[in-house]
Amino acid sequence: MKLDDRKWMILQAIIDDYIMTAVPVGSRTLSRKEGMGVSPATIRNEMSDLEELGYLDQPHTSAGRIPSMKAYRLYVDQILRGSPLSQQETARIQTHLNQRTAQIEQVIRRAAQALSDMTQYTALVVAPQMHTMRIVRVQIVQVSPQSALLVVVTDAGLVKDSVIRIPEGMESDHLYSISQMLTEQLTGLTLQEMRQKFSEIFKNLKEHRRLLAGVLDAMEFRMAESETGEMVIDGGVNLLHYPEYADVEKARNFLSVLQAKDKLYPLLRKAGGVEFSIRIGPENDIPELSECSLVTATYKMQNDVHGTLGIIGPTRMNYGRVISVLDYISKAMSDLLSGEN
């Protein structure tokens, strides 16, 4: 099953060429290439072997060969760890990221922009999952007679806020003491655990039931939101530049999948944790994306909380480069998000 050196070289050359051109590559083309000191005929023999081994596919009899999914898999496992980025490129990424990025939401959005800009594929970035974080502080700030801002700070340094309604006639001092109490009671709990605790709190503080119900409601809503909502997609249009999507039908399907964030989300989540994950073609479970590959990496915040960022592109994507870019940006994000906030 192991490929000898020449087979491997030829396979690599085919993949490289196909990544560039998206056109099936034939023996002549290949033999003309630099450093390939053999005739087309020889290459044909080797290609024939490679096809039998399952590394090459032939769209139709009189066309060249294209790499199979198995070939990409091998290639990717071998190649992993792309060449480092040039000074220029890292600089370009930094200008993306360095634009006043205090809030996480912004960091995420900018990272997605940087990713799609640098790779010309479609970028996905998901925020860290909130329910693994622990509450550090809860504060309710009145902003009008009928509304207040609920601020929740977590141990990952994340600040989430939502406007809630409050019963008319609520006094500011009151809100303050309730905030104190909530902070005291909820500190150290995950948002999940918080839910149980709340029923307890409800019993003790009947008179503020309406207010507390609003608070709980808002927190739950935020959690639910972060199950699917906190994902940024950038550069969906990029893929329309590639011949794979010369057909509007396909283009539309692809873009529709991007729209359905709730389907995409589990895919990204699943890859979380490990440093890099590469899923080629049908390896990802969404049928509409069976002609795409998904490459993901992980970024970290404080206290082991982590999020995922990734690239979707055609299976023939430039894996080396994508990995380099993901590597760099994930590190940059981790630095931005854990050092401070």
Partner DNA sequence: GCTTAGCACTCAACGACATCGAGTGCTAAC
Partner DNA sequence: GTTAGCACTCGATGTCGTTGAGTGCTAAGC
User: How many amino acids of this chain bind its own copies (CB under 8 A)?
Assistant: 37
- Residue count (the chain): 341
H/E stretch holding 160 reads: strand 159-165
Is residue 63 involved in binding DNA (CB under 7 A)?
yes
Binding partner selected for residue 159 from DNA, its own copies, none, CB under the kind-specific 5 to 8 Å limit = its own copies
Which one among 41, 91, 246, 274 touches its own copies, defined by CB under 8 A? 246
Is residue 42 involved in binding DNA (CB under 7 A)?
yes
Is residue 40 involved in binding DNA (CB under 7 A)?
yes
Residue that is written with structure tokens 């699917």 in the block: 228
Phi-psi bin for 206: left (phi > 0), alpha (psi -120 to 50), beta? alpha
Is residue 68 involved in binding DNA (CB under 7 A)?
no
Binding partner selected for residue 80 from its own copies, DNA, none, CB under the kind-specific 5 to 8 Å limit = none
C-alpha pair distances (Å), 39 with each of 24, 50, 70, 144: 18, 17, 26, 81
Sign of CA dihedral 5, 315, 281, 65: negative
Binding partner selected for residue 40 from DNA, its own copies, none, CB under the kind-specific 5 to 8 Å limit = DNA
- In terms of CB distance, is 24 or 235 closer to DNA? 24
Stretch that binds its own copies, among 36-44, 245-253, 270-278, 298-306 (CB under 8 A): 245-253
Binding partner selected for residue 240 from its own copies, DNA, none, CB under the kind-specific 5 to 8 Å limit = its own copies
Stretch that binds its own copies, among 24-32, 74-82, 131-139, 329-337 (CB under 8 A): 131-139
Which one among 10, 19, 26, 278 touches DNA, defined by CB under 7 A? 26
Chain centre distance of CA 4: 36
Is residue 275 involved in binding its own copies (CB under 8 A)?
no
- In terms of CB distance, is 61 or 204 closer to DNA? 61
Residue 61 exposed, middle or buried by CB count within 10 Å (0-12, 13-18, 19+) = exposed
Is-contact 210 164, C-beta < 8 A?
A: no
**Can you read off the two tokens belonging to residue 150?**
């609920």
Is residue 60 involved in binding DNA (CB under 7 A)?
yes
Is residue 341 involved in binding DNA (CB under 7 A)?
no
Write out the binding residues for its own copies, residues 165-184 only, by CB under 8 A.
165
Beta carbons within 10 angstroms of residue 63's beta carbon: 12
Which one among 2, 34, 62, 206 touches DNA, defined by CB under 7 A? 62
Stretch that binds DNA, among 39-47, 132-140, 209-217, 308-316 (CB under 7 A): 39-47
Work out how close the CB of 79 gets to DNA at its nearest, in angstroms, rounded to a whole number. Answer: 23
Is-contact 151 161, C-beta < 8 A?
A: yes
Q: Please report the DSSP string for 257-324 in residue order.
A: HHH-HHHHHHHHHHT-SSSEEEEEGGGSS-GGGTTEEEEEEEEE-GGG-EEEEEEEEETT--HHHHHH
H/E stretch holding 221 reads: helix 209-228
Is residue 36 involved in binding DNA (CB under 7 A)?
no
- Strand blocks (E) in 78-158: 122-126, 135-144, 147-154
Phi and psi torsions of 84, nearest 5°: -65, 160
Is residue 161 involved in binding its own copies (CB under 8 A)?
yes
Binding site for DNA (CB under 7 A): 6, 24-29, 37-42, 44-45, 47-48, 51, 58, 60-65
Binding site for its own copies (CB under 8 A): 100, 102-103, 136-137, 139, 141, 143-144, 146-147, 149, 151, 153, 157, 159, 161-165, 221, 236-237, 240-241, 245-248, 251-252, 255-256, 259, 340-341
